[in-house]
Amino acid sequence: MRPFLILQIRPFDDASDDEFKALLKYGGLKETEAHRVRMEQNGIPEINLDDYSGIIVGGGPSNVSDSLIDKSEAQKRFEADLNILFDKVFNNDFPFLGICYGMGALAKHQGGEVSKELYGESVGAIDISMTAEGQQDKLLKGLPTVFMAYCGHKEACQNLTPGATLLASSTECPSQMIRFQSNIYATQFHVELDEAGIKLRIEAYKNHGYFNPEDAQFLIDKMADANVIYPSKILRRFVDSYKR
């Protein structure tokens, strides 16, 4: 099997390692079936799409909508690399899944308006509702039309990105899952997170503006009541649909 390329931007080792392990676990992948690249460290190497089954871009504290002056040199580098990679992805309708930051980066590349003006969501579990198109999509078909997912983001798509098909929404954020062409996907919610993972990220990012740091333990306790089951099935379906 050709590996999946997993691109990450999380600067904290604990959070990055946990994300990678979760992507493997819920994607049904062995470590040998993934090529991990931490973009925040060295950018993205030269990529030949023929070497891979698909590409997954994870989340992190970076925001594509930040001004250049507020972006680190590392972020400027990996975003430039991502845009080159996105050109290849769209030219080939290559299997791609962007998660949280990965959705914002993909949408911006396609001319979408991504900002912090509206539709940011606090850390927590929310209801995701499929559209009619989503109910027919191979990654969602047969799942409950409303399901819970973990989220937490400062920026969001301010409108449906040109060329995208809307697959799912939430009350606070209209663009929760989109598809371009036939094989290019993005989710604002997290398809890789379980209860342990969201608790780890609450601790890791409690001083990064997502919520009041004093609320961290309250949020952790609240996660125990969430019934988040189905997002990981989307990740597994993506992997199963495109592994080759």
Q: What pLDDT, in 10s, does the model give residues 205-227?
A: 888 778 888 888 988 888 888 89
pLDDT digits (tens, 9 = 90+) for 121-153: 989 999 999 999 999 999 999 999 999 999 999
**213 or 66, higher pLDDT:** 66
**Average confidence score pLDDT of the chain:** 96
Q: What pLDDT is recorded for position 206?
A: 81
**Nearest Cα residue to 232 out of 197, 184, 182:** 197
Confidence category of residue 42, pLDDT binned at 50, 70, 90: very high
CA distance 159 to 178: 12
Q: Is 237 exposed, middle or buried (0-12, 13-18, 19+ CB in 10 A)?
A: buried
Residue 212: what pLDDT?
86
Treating both helix axes as pointing N-terminal to C-terminal, what angle do 195-204 and 216-223 enclose, rounded to 10 degrees? 170
pTM (predicted TM-score): 0.96
Question: Which CATH number does the domain housing residue 222 bear?
Answer: 3.40.50.880
Judge whether 151 and 190 are in contact, CB under 8 Å.
yes
The residue behind tokens 């398809």 is: 191
- Number of folded domains that form the chain: 1
- For the residues 178-202, what does the mean pLDDT come to? 96
Task: Quote the pLDDT of residue 4.
Answer: 99
What confidence tens digit (pLDDT) does each residue in 84-106 have? 999 999 999 999 999 999 999 99
Which position has the higher pLDDT, 5 or 200? 5
State the pLDDT at residue 211: 82
| 40: containing domain | 4-242
Percent of the chain with pLDDT over 70: 100
pLDDT at 82 over 90: yes
